[in-house]
Chains A and B, each alone.
Chain A
Amino acid sequence: MKRSKMIAGFLSTGAALAVAAAFFAVAWLPTGAPEFRLSLAGEGDRSALAPFSLHGRFGDSSAAIAFTLTENGLAQRVEVLPPTLEEPGFVTMPPVEYACVPDSTEGAEYTAELTDGTETYHIRESVLSESRLMLTLEEWTVSNGSAFEQKILRADTGLTCPDRHLYWRETVWSSDREPDAAEIREVLEFENVSYETGNPPAAGEHPLRMDIVAKTGGETYFVPAVDSMWEGTRYIYRAGSTGTWLDTVLLPQQQAIGSAEPLIEIDEGSEMDIYGLYATEDGTLALFYRGYRGMNGLSCRLYDPQTGEMEGELRLISSPEEDGASGSFRFFPDEGGFSAAVWTPAGNSVVFSVRRGAEGWVLSHPPREIPGMAAALAEQGGRLAAVCYTDAGISFAVCPPEGEVLYAAELTRPDAGSSRTFYDLAVQTR
């Protein structure tokens, strides 16, 4: 073996290793550059951060900058995550559906008309009726990415709308003879109902949107989000048995599916716009509503689902519209209570904290409007720490119950691709 050949072999191996090392160095080095780092601009006393720490990630599903902001400053490191390939998402039905159905079929008219130029009949059932609110909850169980089971609960809320409306259902009947009333009724039994005159006040369409279903202690509770136009007693319901979607798909809309137990009667319920229900960590149900008498403005009632007793009532915002609060609620549970934020159309958030104190439930941090859309909140000793999405990145603020913000900071993102975002944002207390 010639010596030069041996050297060539070693040189080749060395060159290969050098190329690989250089490649990795070229790929990784820019991740340490300032342009790839989040920058922090803070105002105020950083020691006010002491009980809080902010955690989060900036990036996408394959790589991210993980960061932590504490009183000691901002720490960040580059994280490589396993890449997730985009899969076609499921088209899911809305989990909650309101349906106004004719209350009674008295005075129904059955008509059959020959369709122009064909041997078919256009048949129609028309009913002048009160509308009745049926509330449908759907639960999808997705396992192994594809198989799913859909459970359905349809509750008759007993709430009616006083205005009378004309409802009809219609279809085309292929027959060489005119059907009689019984046949029309039978054929149309499973058709959807449409209404014609005067829209009944739609349920669940408030400027403030929140979930009407709350789960705690293995039970599911729900409340119809209706305004004061609806007549009847409002209840907080406990979901009992449910039906399977496939078995119940052909049941008419007037028919209840499964069972829902009216658990808590809401006092003066007909004088409020009910927004929704939230369950705290200790299993208390918080009902959010807008009242017109007494507790007017956005308020919250706290119920014990075991006894059905009201444990507290808190007034949050005097007038939701005037305060610009017409977005959606976001809740952040913690020990002994919860913090919540209402996103406003202007891109701000109204934040507050509710806590169980020695004298019952209290507003431990009164509502305060902060810029940005709140992504995470935490409350400690009356101080509320909030992290919000802004145009430039995220903002972090520590607010006392009253007065000036103690500490405010802006975390500005590096310009590293439009698909990269902040996520997993969490404020922790120590």
Chain B
Amino acid sequence: MNNKFLALFCREFSGRLRQIWLFPLAAALFQPALYWLAVREMYESARFEELYLSSAAPILLAVLFAALTGWMVWMTVQDFSNGSICTLLTLPGGRGRLWLAKLSAFCGALLLLWAGILAGIGLSYLVFSGRCAEIARITGQDYRLNAGLWLGLTRAALFRILCPMTLPEIVSSLLLFLTLPLTSAWAGWAFAGRHYVRGGLGSIAAACLWALLLRERLLYPEEIPLPYCLTLPMILAAVAADSLQTVRRADF
């Protein structure tokens, strides 16, 4: 089991590393670049997180997450359309593993993107510190703060989603992150199996809940929205159960 799963996982993840690496690299390099565009106009005291939020970096993050989700759906659909998966599926008991391998690979891709985003935020802070030092040299006033990166991370709702600091935040962020690969893998599978209604309705429901949860976290960061945190796992459980059921029946 382990070796077969590993082989499948390597096919899904390691085999597509070149594509997957594009996402974290874009996040790590473009974020500081966009941040620099925002920070070069800074001539006086400003806060790291406020400059970050006013820069184009959050838009880049939205684009990257959307692109990764699209890529995950596309990869699932393509596997079925070009028939390369049929050989694998003829193996006895390989279907459930294949779905799990796909899901794990997508989670790995998301992990890489997340690390890339964190690296990008860290590099943006370096850009910020550099600009602060420059201003300090010109004006003779030092605006750098102790634990400045930490203070910036704690103050912005977006950062509290990307790098959660309390247990409820960790749980709800994990939910937000895991929804993407789970629903993408399932939706791709359902579309490939021509279950357009089921796949469409399920992914729309998950997307709506996901968007609502994200909105609540961004607009009201002081409290974790419990209704969404409870319903979203139910949808995800249904998606996972349906995926495994489909895999077992192999009805495509």
Contact = CB atoms under 8 A, between A and B. Distances in A.
Interface of A: 1, 5-6, 8-9, 12-13, 15-17, 19-20, 23-24, 26-28, 30-31, 33, 35-36, 60, 62-63, 80-85, 414-417
Contacts, number: 113
Task: Say which size band chain B's interface belongs to.
Answer: 35 or more
Contact of B146 (A20, A26, A33): A33
Contacts of A17: 111, 115
Contact of A417 (B118, B151, B160): B151
B146 A16 contact: no
Given A6-B10, A16-B112, A82-B166, 15 more contacts: A1-B7, A6-B14, A12-B20, A20-B114, A26-B149, A27-B163, A60-B155, A62-B151, A62-B154, A82-B169, A83-B155, A84-B222, A85-B157, A85-B220, A416-B147
B221 A416 contact: no
B209 to A, nearest CB: 21
Contact of B147 (A12, A16, A31): A31
A254 B56 CA distance: 60
A210 B45 CA distance: 38
Contacts of B166: 80, 82
B195 to A, nearest CB: 31
Interface of B: 6-7, 9-11, 13-15, 17, 20-21, 24, 108, 111-112, 114-116, 118-119, 121-122, 145-151, 153-157, 160, 163, 165-166, 169, 219-223
B118 A23 contact: yes
Nearest to B165: A80
A84 B24 CA distance: 30
A354 B107 CA distance: 65
Contacts of A81: 154
A33 B146 CA distance: 9
Nearest to B112: A16
B165 A9 contact: no
Contacts of B116: 16, 19
A1 B15 contact: yes
Given A16-B114, A36-B147, A23 B121 contact: yes
Q: Which 4 A-B pairs have the closest CB atoms?
A: A9-B14, A16-B115, A63-B154, A30-B147
B221 A63 contact: no
